[in-house]
């Protein structure tokens, strides 16, 4: 484990629940690393992730650090032959991805956690089964509290939070995003609204904000519009509900969770390490999401000018 902030700790707890043996932990706060190792019975701790990679012969590594260090740590781990569960965004810009050798990319499982969450998987299954007919569009909203402006001051909201919906739209529609038109408001940036145009012709929208009061309950919403119906997914403090035309007859529901999908993501990573199963998220898909986020940032900076999404290394 490299990175022991709130989400790194959630990773660690998920590994424990999955029965994995944690060989070592690292955090730039060496004291935190030492205390965490003692708490979880981990035999080694480090104040530097590369030192961990050099000292401990592990099978896989979770990189759950600040976004700016993701590419560097993934590169160091893969050069040493390790497989990596790399938290999203896998890079702060698509240009950074050129620093990863082609051989390294096949050793990275991007941590787009909502792909592993059961209701999102059910939503995709309903779409691919044709239950709502051909997809005409997707609308996604994801609001977070104002403290995100401080906690993630080095990452644009489109890259930190909006990237969930960027990836989901490409995954649910089965088509890459080719062009975006966006507005970005606030100083620092705290409200992102963007229209995304897929290669298949589907038009979608995302809204990402970091403007809720710090004590507010958050609610995420995802609507997929089909020729024959609409699928809706709501996630809030009371749980998650997936339904079609009628709220009274939901297709599926789930209790509230601190990190929806994380346990399943960790189990999938462990199976990938052990059995070399097909990754549920490819490097190319995660790289595409970063490139779309780049285009959103650029369009917002240019006052809503349409921006084409650049091709990225796969």
85-122: pLDDT as tens digits: 999 999 999 999 999 999 999 999 999 999 999 999 99
Inform me whether the pLDDT recorded for 197 exceeds 90. Answer: yes
Neighbours of 314 (CB within 10 A): 13
Inform me whether the pLDDT recorded for 162 exceeds 90. Answer: yes
Measured in degrees and rounded to the nearest 5, phi and psi for residue 175 equal -145, 135
Six-digit token string for 236:
């809030």
Domains of the chain: 6-112 (3.40.50.720), 115-308 (3.30.360.10)
Q: Please give the torsion angle defined by the CA atoms of residues 251, 255, 260 and 261, in that order, rounded to the nearest 10 degrees.
A: -60
Of 162, 161, 200, 156, the closest CA to residue 178 belongs to: 200
Inform me whether the pLDDT recorded for 247 exceeds 80. Answer: no
The predicted pLDDT at position 243 comes to: 94
Inform me whether the pLDDT recorded for 49 exceeds 90. Answer: yes
Model confidence band, residue 301 (pLDDT cutoffs 50, 70, 90) = very high
Of 148, 152, 182, the closest CA to residue 165 belongs to: 182
Mean pLDDT of the residues in the chain: 96
Lowest mean pLDDT segment, chosen from 188-192, 218-222, 293-297, 300-304: 218-222
* 223 and 142 Cβ atoms separated by less than 8 Å: no
The predicted pLDDT at position 314 comes to: 75
Inform me whether the pLDDT recorded for 185 exceeds 90. Answer: yes
* 141 and 164 Cβ atoms separated by less than 8 Å: no
The predicted pLDDT at position 82 comes to: 97
Q: Give bridge partners of residue 254 from the DSSP assignment.
A: 240
pLDDT digits (tens, 9 = 90+) for 19-48: 999 999 999 999 999 999 999 999 999 999
How far is the C-alpha of 138 from the C-alpha of 42, rounded, in Å?
44
Residues with Cβ within 8 Å of 29's Cβ and at least 6 positions away in sequence, in order, are 4, 47
Inform me whether the pLDDT recorded for 245 exceeds 80. Answer: no
The predicted pLDDT at position 246 comes to: 72
The predicted pLDDT at position 313 comes to: 76
Of 123, 114, 59, 54, the closest CA to residue 87 belongs to: 114
The predicted pLDDT at position 251 comes to: 94
- What does the DSSP 8-state code read for residue 279? P
């Amino acid at each position: 484990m490299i990175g022991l902030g709130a989400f790194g700790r959630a990773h660690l707890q998920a590994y424990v629940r999955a029965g994995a043996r944690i060989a070592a932990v690292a955090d730039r706060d060496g004291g935190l690393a030492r205390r965490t190792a003692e708490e979880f019975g981990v035999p080694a701790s480090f104040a530097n992730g590369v030192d961990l990679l050099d000292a401990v012969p592990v099978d896989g590594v979770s990189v759950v650090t600040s976004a700016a260090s993701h590419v560097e740590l993934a590169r160091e781990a893969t050069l040493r032959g390790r497989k990596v569960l790399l938290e999203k965004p896998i890079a702060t810009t698509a240009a950074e991805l050129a620093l990863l050798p082609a051989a390294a990319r096949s050793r990275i499982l991007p941590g787009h956690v909502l792909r592993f969450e059961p209701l999102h998987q059910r939503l995709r299954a309903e779409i691919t089964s044709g239950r709502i007919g051909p997809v005409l569009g997707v609308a996604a909203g994801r609001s977070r509290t104002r403290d995100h402006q401080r906690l993630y001051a080095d990452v644009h909201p489109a890259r930190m939070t909006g990237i969930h919906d960027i990836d989901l739209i490409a995954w649910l529609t089965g088509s890459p995003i080719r062009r975006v038109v966006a507005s970005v408001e606030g100083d620092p940036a705290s409200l992102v609204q963007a229209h995304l145009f897929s290669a298949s012709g589907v038009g979608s929208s995302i809204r990402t904000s970091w403007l809720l009061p710090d004590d507010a309950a958050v609610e995420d919403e995802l609507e997929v519009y089909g020729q024959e119906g609409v699928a809706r997914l709501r996630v809030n403090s009371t749980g998650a509900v997936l339904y079609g035309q009628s709220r009274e007859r939901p297709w599926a529901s789930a209790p509230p969770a601190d990190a929806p999908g994380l346990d399943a993501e960790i189990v999938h990573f462990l199976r990938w390490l052990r059995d070399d199963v097909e990754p549920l998220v490819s490097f190319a898909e995660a790289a595409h999401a970063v490139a779309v986020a780049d285009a959103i940032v650029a369009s917002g900076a240019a006052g809503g000018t349409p921006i084409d999404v650049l091709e990225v290394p796969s």
